[in-house]
């Protein structure tokens, strides 16, 4: 009888544990869609002899909030929209075409890039966060970390961040000293910068 009683008690306990996982999860998370028109992404890339910069358009995005606290989010980039701001005419077209080619981002095969937040850590000051997430470029996903700031403007949540990306992590090899020797002044540095500003739609 004692063994049966213990076994029955164990089954009852397991049943209660199982039931606890079926309770509805009360979440206060509010997803806010990102305004494609008001949000901006600027890129800066560097080489031995100088640098280039331009813009690239957001395709979609959202920011998740619990009250005033950022708790998650994601965005998708339209890689075909890449532009160059510091060159004109033929040189501009050549650079943009090269960036879209398989030497760099292979836009025909990989028309979008994306980022998904996996962890948000408060830095102790309201609106200041450390962000951890998965960045996908050319079908390759890598974890990256950066700091972000969230403010409120006219009822909209605005998230800004400076993100440093190592292109060699995503098989973008052209002109990289990490893959090719003796490039000299033709070397293009692996790291490039993204300045991201995500503006939420009014809730």
Q: What is the pLDDT of residue 180?
A: 55
Contact 51, 45 (CB under 8 A): yes
Q: What is the pLDDT of residue 129?
A: 98
Q: What is the pLDDT of residue 49?
A: 85
> Residue 61 burial (CB < 10 Å; 0-12/13-18/19+)?
buried
Q: What is the pLDDT of residue 11?
A: 40
Q: What is the pLDDT of residue 186?
A: 58
Q: What is the pLDDT of residue 198?
A: 97
Q: What is the pLDDT of residue 89?
A: 95
Q: Is the pTM of this model over 0.85?
A: no
Name the CATH superfamily for 28-199: Lipid/polyisoprenoid-binding, YceI-like (2.40.128.110)
Task: List average pLDDT for each run of 10 residues in the chain, which is 203 residues long.
Answer: 46 39 56 95 93 96 94 97 96 95 94 97 96 97 98 92 95 73 66 96 68
| Domain ranges across the chain | 28-199
Give the count of beta carbons closer than 10 Å to the beta carbon of residue 178: 12
């Amino acid at each position: 009888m004692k063994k049966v009683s213990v076994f029955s008690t164990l089954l009852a306990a397991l049943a209660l544990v199982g039931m606890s996982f079926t309770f509805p999860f009360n979440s206060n998370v509010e997803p806010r869609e990102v305004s494609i028109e008001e949000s901006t992404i600027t890129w800066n890339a560097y080489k031995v002899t100088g640098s280039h910069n331009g813009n690239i358009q957001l395709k979609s995005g959202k920011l998740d909030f619990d009250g005033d606290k950022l708790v998650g989010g994601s965005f998708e980039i339209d890689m075909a929209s890449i532009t160059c701001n510091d060159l004109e005419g033929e040189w501009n077209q050549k650079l943009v075409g090269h960036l879209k080619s398989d030497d760099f981002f292979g836009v025909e095969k990989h028309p979008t890039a994306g980022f998904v937040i996996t962890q948000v850590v408060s830095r102790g000051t309201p609106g200041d966060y450390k962000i951890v997430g998965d960045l996908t470029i050319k079908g390759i996903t890598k974890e990256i970390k950066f700091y972000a700031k969230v403010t409120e403007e006219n009822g909209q949540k605005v998230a800004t961040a400076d993100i440093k990306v190592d292109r060699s992590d995503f098989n973008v090899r052209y002109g990289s000293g990490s893959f090719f020797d003796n490039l000299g002044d033709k070397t293009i540095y692996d790291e490039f910068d993204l300045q991201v500003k995500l503006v939420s739609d009014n809730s």
